Amino acid sequence: MVIRWTRESLERLAEIEAYISKDSPERAIKFENYLIDQAEPLKDHPKIGRIVPETGNENIREIIIKNYRIIYRISTHTVDIITVFEGHRLLLPEELETK
């Protein structure tokens, strides 16, 4: 499988990095890379994440990394990372629209 990061997910990563960089630019970059690295196992094990409770869709899953949710969609040959956000909030329906 190929992992593809959508525009939405890359924008969310940039926001996370910008927020953390207020305290530590170096730590922000490391954490962004850490989140990206944590998605790599999805190439070989796309169903490792749980089904997103807000959708109930078997192909929309998430992995929880620290306090963040990485939401992704499984397709025939790809894993599309849809969005990344803090784990305390719910997934909004409009965030499922791939950009």
Residues 6 or more apart in contact with residue 20 via CB below 8 angstroms: 27, 28, 31
* pLDDT of 92: 66
Report the CATH number at residue 33: 3.30.2310.20
Instruction: Tell me which of 95 and 59 has the higher pLDDT.
Output: 59
Give the separation between CA 5 and CA 21, rounded to whole angstroms: 22
Q: Each residue of 16-36: pLDDT tens digit?
A: 999 999 999 999 999 999 999
Instruction: Supply the pTM of this predicted model.
Output: 0.89
* pLDDT of 97: 66
Within-domain flag for 62: yes
> Residue 24, class by beta-carbon neighbours within 10 Å (0-12 exposed, 13-18 middle, 19+ buried)?
exposed
Q: Compute the average pLDDT of residues 56-62.
A: 94
What is the extent of the structural domain holding 23?
2-89
Q: In what order do the strands lie in the sheet with 50-51?
A: 2-5, 78-86, 68-74, 60-65, 50-51
* pLDDT of 90: 67
Within-domain flag for 96: no
* pLDDT of 54: 86
Within-domain flag for 94: no
The total of structural domains in the chain comes to 1
Name the E strands within 1-99: 2-5, 50-51, 60-65, 68-74, 78-86
Within-domain flag for 97: no
